[in-house]
């Protein structure tokens, strides 16, 4: 895990950076002007890693391929060193009133990397914006493995998803995460995976049953043709 003092320094640095950055004219145009919403997550990720973190005195790395090229689909946006070990940090963007359940990371990739003992944490650095007048920012820096009570999992896309509203409400209320060992966190991830796989199997069986019945009904028609009446459901305009 990242040392508590270092974690607080990172949080303080990134919080101060974005408190200043959101006051710049270009930023307001990106979130409220003609370019509103245009890859704002990419902008925040780039500036957070390249300016707020890398430009500081933190020791960082990026995951690379055998030729030394940065991986485009790394499990983390940047890796931060603490006590000789590098820890994955995933930069996420949150916008007020659009909490939802954003994708965070592949559960299987996270679990396999933990089981191979290459990591013992997985940090989220969340820059949450309130698009109002004035624009406001709030930064959260947490180890996702400490907040597994605020995630869900969908075996379809295979992603861990953050229950954003519950998470932010808990953070703002000063809630303390459940204390778990790394082994207990791994066990919790496995429970999430097994439950997701079970629900996926149930849903697939249900869909198969529905489609099998529809095929049987279709085969009984004897005459197969597309008509203006059958196309009405497409609501073509």
Block residue for tokens 């974005």: 18
**22-41 tens-digit pLDDT:** 999 888 878 765 545 557 88
Residue 10: the pLDDT is 95
The C-alpha atoms of residue 63 and residue 86 are separated, in whole angstroms, by 10
**79-113 tens-digit pLDDT:** 999 999 999 999 998 866 666 788 999 999 999 99
Gyration radius from the chain CA atoms: 23
Q: What is the CATH code for 4-194? A: 3.40.600
Average pLDDT of 43-70?
87
Residue 72: the pLDDT is 78
* Number of Cα atoms under 13 Å in the Cβ half of residue 56: 20
Kindly list the strands in the beta sheet with 103-106, ordered across the sheet, starting from the edge strand earlier in the chain: 103-106, 159-162, 151-154
pLDDT band at 133; cut points 50, 70, 90: confident
């Amino acid at each position: 895990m990242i040392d508590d003092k270092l974690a607080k320094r990172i949080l303080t640095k990134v919080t101060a950076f974005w408190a200043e950055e959101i006051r710049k004219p270009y930023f307001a145009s990106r979130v409220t002007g003609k370019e509103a919403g245009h890859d704002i997550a990419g902008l925040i990720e780039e500036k957070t890693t390249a300016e707020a973190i890398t430009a500081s005195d933190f020791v960082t790395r990026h995951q690379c391929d055998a030729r030394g090229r940065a991986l485009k689909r790394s499990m983390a946006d940047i890796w931060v060193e603490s006590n000789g070990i590098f820890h994955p940090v995933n930069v996420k963007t949150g916008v007020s009133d659009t909490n939802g359940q954003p994708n965070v990371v592949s559960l299987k990739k996270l679990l396999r990397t933990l089981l191979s003992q290459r990591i013992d944490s997985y940090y989220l650095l969340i820059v949450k914006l309130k698009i109002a007048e004035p624009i406001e920012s709030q930064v959260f820096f947490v180890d996702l493995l400490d907040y597994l009570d605020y995630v869900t999992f969908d075996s379809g896309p295979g992603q861990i998803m953050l229950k954003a509203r519950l998470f932010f409400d808990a953070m703002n209320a000063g809630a303390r995460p459940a204390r778990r060992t790394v082994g207990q966190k791994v066990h919790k991830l496995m429970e999430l995976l097994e439950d997701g796989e079970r629900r996926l199997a149930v849903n697939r069986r249900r869909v198969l049953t529905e489609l099998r019945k529809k095929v049987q009904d279709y085969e009984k028609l004897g005459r197969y043709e597309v008509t203006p009446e059958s196309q009405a459901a497409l609501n073509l305009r």
